[in-house]
Amino acid sequence: MTTDLTRLTADALAIKLSSGEVSSVEATQAHLDRIAAVDGSVHAFLHVASDSALAEAADIDRRRAAGEELHPLAGVPIAIKDVIVTKGMPTTSGSKILEGWVPPYDATVMTKLRAAGLVSIGKTNMDEFAMGSSTEHSAYGPTHNPWDLERIPGGSGGGSAAAVAAFEAPFALGSDTGGSIRQPAHVTGTVGLKPTYGGVSRYGAIALASSLDQIGPVSRTVLDSALLHDVIGGHDPRDSTSLTDVWPSFAEAVRNADVAGLRIGVITELQGDGFQPGVMERFREALALLEGAGAIITEVALPSVEHAIAAYYLIMPAEASSNLAKFDSVRFGLRVNPKGGGTVEDVMSATREQGFGAEAKRRIILGTYALSAGYYDAYYGSAQKVRTLVQRDFAAAFANADVLVSPTAPTTAFKLGEKTGDPLSMYLNDIATIPANLAGIPGISVPVGLAAEDGLPVGIQFLAPAREDARLYGVAAALEALLEQKWGHTLLSQAPDLSPSEMNATDEGAV
């Protein structure tokens, strides 16, 4: 019976919980059991909070029994990307430099999850400080794609996507700076949405690039992402960049999904060359389905997209080089004393040398270069101008289309180790997801099937104008319904069964 609970969507589980058919302790235990069974192979979690999760679940059950009015999602387990600061749970952002750090405060999204009664079952693996597209840059070893354990689960939020795809959690929190929610969704057959910049508070999300980062939902269905987004969204006075907008119910947008008359603009620059045939095939098939449902498919140009990666790989490292300066061995985290002692400068330098992985060091040096005297105008300054051009392109495109569409990434999941030696080719993999971060607009990835050549999941990305996240939920939910009607099943029901194995993550402790 308990294995069945892990197969439920968050929405379905919530209904069983509120009807009293299932207790939160049962639901939580079922997911903990599943983690114990499969996470040795998947390694989605850096920390599994068994005791605190069961205690939180018991509390929800008690409050429900006492007749207290609870949030509809109360008692549903959730996994948290380790970039999010959690009181009482270690938070490392995938880095050795923060090993064992237990924050004295909660991120705003955590405060909101706790207020809604969601049960945090653990922290998920990620590329160090969210720098990567494969989780191979995690200081704690990579996460494996549940569809093929030899392959990457995407990144940086590969842990959250894999946890959801492997039925270790019904949904999870992710963060997206250049595609870290959407690209893992694409390669794991899950759903992930990057909200409009400012739609979800960044307070307590360990910053990679402040002007690009955004927290968002990761799930198996569009509705579950919408339900989670409804919980975590909204204004936060602790984040100056948080929008004061009153947001519509995204779950409502899912339930009212309809694409009739919707103008969908296919981005010319994000197809063809460099895109895997199997990815393009599924992409075109999805467009045909939407057209059949009444959507109007057009083609739009985003000429500045060719410079988007270049701008991104200047802005992101520049901001990261400054954001990561606080890891200096003084107030928290690792301290490495150089041999024979030394001044505080030597201790800081030794700590940062040993505490940061190769990719973090690469980006810090790159960002320091882009900001340094004599280069600022040419690099950082020019990149900020390209940002303006990308925004203008989107504004023009949205004049002719309600949403834009592209494959979420050029290829399906590549093999672990395939690109670690070539940072630039890893960077180029983010071509389709980066423009949305530069422009601050929302984007969603939804599964559209498996590529014929390798049998691996393929995602489609929809983009909407800033503040129109609801539009994305509508079109994604409509496509999801059309596809599942055509297939007669969900995509994830086709994922391989994972054989039980030893659990890897330490229970209730630092990894």
Partner 1 sequence: MAKLMDYDRALELFEPVLGFEVHIELSTKTKMFSDAPNYFGGEPNTNITPVDLGLPGSLPVVNGQAVRYAISLGLALGCSIAPTSRFARKNYFYPDLAKNYQISQSDEPIAFAGSVEVELPNGRMFTVPIERAHMEEDAGKLTHVGGATGRIQGAEYSLVDYNRAGVPLVEIVTDIIYGAEADAPELAKAYVSTIRDIVVGLGISEARMERGNLRCDANISLRRRTPEGEPPAPLGTRTETKNVNSLRSVERAIRYEIQRQAAILDDGGTITQETRHWHEDTGQTSAGRPKSDADDYRYFPEPDLLPVVPSAELIEELRAALPEAPAIRRRRLKAEWNFTDLEFQDLTNSGLVNEVIETVAAGAAPAAARKWWTGEIARTANAQGVDATTLVTPLQVAQLVALVDAGTLTDRLARQVLEGVIAGEGTPQQVVDARGLAVVSDDGALIAAIDEALQSQPDVLAKIRDGKVQAAGAVIGAVMKAMKGQADAARVRELVLERATALPE
Partner 2 sequence: MSEITQEQVTHLASLARIALTPEEIVSLTSELGSIMDHVATVTEVATPDVPATSHPIPLQNVFRDDVVGQTLTAEEALAGAPDHDGSRFRVTAILGEEQ
Residues that bind partner 1 (CB under 8 A): 84-85, 91, 93, 98, 101, 103-105, 107, 202-207, 209-211, 237-241, 318-319, 321-322, 325-328, 330-332, 344-345, 348, 368, 371-373, 376, 380
CB-nearer residue toward partner 1: 318 or 498:
318
| 332 near partner 2, rule: CB under 8 A | yes
Q: Which range touches partner 2 (CB under 8 A), out of 3-11, 16-24, 31-39, 366-374?
A: 366-374
**202 touches which of partner 2, partner 1, none (CB within 5 to 8 A by kind)?**
partner 1
| 396 near partner 2, rule: CB under 8 A | no
Residues 45, 48, 51: CA angle, nearest 5 degrees = 170
Q: Hey, what are 487's tokens?
A: 């297939």
How many amino acids of this chain bind partner 2 (CB under 8 A)? Answer: 76
Q: Using CB under 8 A, pick the residue from 256, 388, 499, 501 that binds partner 2.
A: 388
CA distance 283 to 458: 8
**Residues from 210 through 229 that contact partner 2 (CB under 8 A):** 211-212
Taking the complex as a whole, how short is the minimal distance between the CB of residue 81 and partner 1, in angstroms? Answer: 12
CA distance 57 to 52: 8
For residue 200, give the 3-state DSSP assignment: strand
**Residues from 231 through 250 that contact partner 2 (CB under 8 A):** 237, 240-241, 243
By CB atoms closer than 10 A (0-12, 13-18, 19+), residue 321 is buried
CB-nearer residue toward partner 2: 233 or 457:
233
| 391 near partner 2, rule: CB under 8 A | yes
**Residues from 159 through 198 that contact partner 2 (CB under 8 A):** 196-198
CB-nearer residue toward partner 1: 40 or 332:
332
Taking the complex as a whole, how short is the minimal distance between the CB of residue 99 and partner 1, in angstroms? Answer: 13
**326 touches which of partner 2, partner 1, none (CB within 5 to 8 A by kind)?**
partner 1
| 284 near partner 2, rule: CB under 8 A | no
**249 touches which of partner 2, partner 1, none (CB within 5 to 8 A by kind)?**
none
Question: Which amino acids are annotated catalytic?
Answer: 81, 156, 180
Spell out, one character per residue from 465 to 504, where the chain touches partner 2: x when CB under 8 A holds, - when not. -x--------------------------------------
81, 162 contact by CB (below 8 A)? no
Name the nearest CA neighbour of 190 among 205, 175, 170: 170
Task: Provide φ and ψ at 369, rounded to 5°.
Answer: -65, -45
**Residues from 287 through 316 that contact partner 2 (CB under 8 A):** 304, 307, 309-311, 313-314
Q: For residue 468, give every residue at least 6 positions away whose Cβ sits within 8 Å of its Cβ, in sequence order, or none.
A: 196, 442
CB-nearer residue toward partner 2: 121 or 439:
439
Name the nearest CA neighbour of 120 among 85, 153, 94: 85
Q: Report CA Rg, the chain.
A: 21
Q: For residue 205, give every residue at least 6 positions away whose Cβ sits within 8 Å of its Cβ, in sequence order, or none.
A: 83, 84, 85, 107, 109, 175, 213, 215
Q: For residue 206, give every residue at least 6 positions away whose Cβ sits within 8 Å of its Cβ, in sequence order, or none.
A: 83, 84, 85, 91, 93, 129, 130
Q: Which range touches partner 2 (CB under 8 A), out of 35-43, 44-52, 100-108, 498-506?
A: 100-108
Taking the complex as a whole, how short is the minimal distance between the CB of residue 120 and partner 1, in angstroms? Answer: 16
The residue behind tokens 């000429």 is 303
DSSP per residue, 423-492? HHHHHHTTTTTHHHHHHT--EEEEEEEE-TTT--EEEEEEE--TT-HHHHHHHHHHHHHHHHHHHSS-SG
**Residues from 413 through 442 that contact partner 2 (CB under 8 A):** 423-424, 427, 437-441
